[in-house]
Amino acid sequence: MEYDVIVVGKGNAALCAALAAQENGAKVLMLEAASEDEHGGNSRFAGGVMRFAYTGVEDLRRVTDISAEEEANSDFGSNTREHFLDVMHELTQYRTDPDLSELLVNSGLDTMAWLRAKGAKFILNHGRQSGIIDGKRVYFGNMPIEVNGGGAGLVDYLDATAKKIGIEILYDTRVGSLMQENGAVCGVHAEQKGKAVDFRAKSVVLACGGFEANPEMRARYLGPGWDLCKVRGSRFNMGDGLKMALDIGAAPYGNWSGCHATGWDRYAPEFGDVSVGDQFQKHSYIFGLLINAEGKRFVDEGYDFHSFTYAKYGGEVLRQPSQFAWQVFDSKVTKLLRSEYRIKMMTKVSANTLEELATKLEGVNPDGFLKTVRDYNAAVKKDVPFNHTIKDGKGTAGIEPPKSNWAQALDTPPYDAYSTTCGITFTFGGLRIDKETGQVINVHFHPIRGLYCAGEMVGGLFYFNYASGTGLVSGAVFGRMAGRSAALAAKQSEVI
């Protein structure tokens, strides 16, 4: 059977591409490597926070219902386009492709409203980045919305819509290469439960993730040691889409030696576990200390809100001896720790004195740890008040590395410590695309007829670092664009 558009993958970007293609009149087939039980890619593991530009409550109302009472009792802040663009540029050391990031920033809100129209339900992000200040709920970090049910919820909503409108989906179907005629992509070669199968279409959208689950490619592109990290999400993102596109001359683009990686339970399984989701992560390190095997600190834990450091600190943990770090807290901050510090499956020790704790931190030099804490406690600025809802400037003086915000002496037992290693989320290297259509560009900068890509496969957006909540929105923005363009191109090819 011939289709107008084949979408490879079934995560958020793929579902958005399929829905947009169908909305533009295409007959769509989705091919998913995973079984129906394991479908949904990294999107299904996502916590579900979504970052987009908004100026106030009226913008947020396009995405979710907000009652008059909620409005009166909340400070939603804003995330202006200018601010979001500054964040994209600063975090990527001014390397982000300006057209791609503008597209992401300018289309985010419209795309969120489109997702809502496609059945997704969004809610206020109470749990992760808000606090009650002077009787009002204050949202900080410019991200007051999350999808109901997290990434799994998003996949379920879009999946339900796709099924309702008759999009065909085949599981256990791993696409291995692209079919071409006269230079145009006209289908895919796949393997379905051990059998070779070909599928033909006028356009193909690749939305099948990066190479984060592939240790060989990680070591090759990210560097030595990256084969040793844990994978936070799907085991199916093996770099297949990137390889098949490069094989037909697609241009690689972006930060191929870079990735998003965070602190993750040291003894978590090799790949993500959907029943645990993102909860092996440990993102409250901003309120404590990160300690390596020598008992030393090695990053500024309080440089910024975790949203702006967590995606690169996983790599810093990987670079420590034996690739681990303990996160250490005292009881003053226990109530501020996120939900992931209260799950059953985690590597945690507690003690009533620092000396006792030092003996419990597996793999850590106890004397080194105790000296680090003494030096740190002495360096904390005592005259600045602690406030977790702003960058409070309560830092340290005279130690390296400094802790710039939320620095309080570690002096109030009981002490809790959590052992982490590096968990990779997704890789930054991708393909060069046309910025108006999502069409893949070849190494000589000509568009490849019939080929589009979206999601993690788009290169050029992220370099070195990443702002939390950007992955799902970028998957939706670029997925929607690629799906629409693929459908329109399929229609045009009929006319010709």
Ligand X SMILES: Cc1cc2nc3c(=O)[nH]c(=O)nc-3n(C[C@H](O)[C@H](O)[C@H](O)COP(=O)(O)OP(=O)(O)OC[C@H]3O[C@@H](n4cnc5c(N)ncnc54)[C@H](O)[C@@H]3O)c2cc1C
Question: Is the CB of 236 or the CB of 303 nearer to ligand X?
Answer: 236
Closest approach of Cβ 408 to ligand X, in Å?
27
Closest approach of Cβ 496 to ligand X, in Å?
29
Closest approach of Cβ 71 to ligand X, in Å?
25
- Under a CB-based contact definition with an 8 Å cutoff, are residues 144 and 130 in contact? yes
Closest approach of Cβ 81 to ligand X, in Å?
18
- Under a CB-based contact definition with an 8 Å cutoff, are residues 429 and 256 in contact? yes
Distance, in Å, from the CA atom of 421 to the CA atom of 147, rounded to the nearest integer, reads: 28
Closest approach of Cβ 430 to ligand X, in Å?
10
Closest approach of Cβ 469 to ligand X, in Å?
5
Question: Is the CB of 44 or the CB of 297 nearer to ligand X?
Answer: 44
- Under a CB-based contact definition with an 8 Å cutoff, are residues 124 and 62 in contact? no
Q: At 354, which helix (H) or strand (E)?
A: helix 354-360
Question: Is the CB of 286 or the CB of 472 nearer to ligand X?
Answer: 472
Strand partners, 82: none
Question: Is the CB of 95 or the CB of 243 nearer to ligand X?
Answer: 243
Closest approach of Cβ 265 to ligand X, in Å?
12
What angle, rounded to 10 degrees, do the helices at 12-23 and 150-164 form? 30
Burial track 170-200 (b if 16+ CB lie within 10 A, e otherwise): ebbbbbeebbbeeebbbbbebebeeeeeebe
Question: Is the CB of 429 or the CB of 471 nearer to ligand X?
Answer: 471
Q: Which two tokens stand for residue 402?
A: 């400094």
Question: Is the CB of 167 or the CB of 291 nearer to ligand X?
Answer: 167
- Under a CB-based contact definition with an 8 Å cutoff, are residues 311 and 425 in contact? yes
**In 202-350, alpha helices (H):** 215-217, 240-247, 310-318
Closest approach of Cβ 219 to ligand X, in Å?
19
Q: Tally the residues of the chain.
A: 496
Q: Which two tokens stand for residue 496?
A: 């010709």
Write the single-letter amino acid at 447.
P
Compute CA distances 374 → 355, 409, 494, whole Å: 12, 9, 73
Question: Is the CB of 38 or the CB of 71 nearer to ligand X?
Answer: 38
Question: Is the CB of 239 or the CB of 402 nearer to ligand X?
Answer: 239
Write the single-letter amino acid at 194.
G
Contact positions vs ligand X (CB under 6 A): 8-14, 31-34, 39-43, 45-50, 151, 174-175, 207-209, 232-234, 236-237, 240, 272, 278, 425-426, 455-456, 469-472, 475
3-class secondary-structure state, position 449: strand
Question: Is the CB of 287 or the CB of 428 nearer to ligand X?
Answer: 428
Closest approach of Cβ 177 to ligand X, in Å?
10
Question: Which candidate, 445, 437, 447, 448, places its Cα nearest to that of 481?
Answer: 437
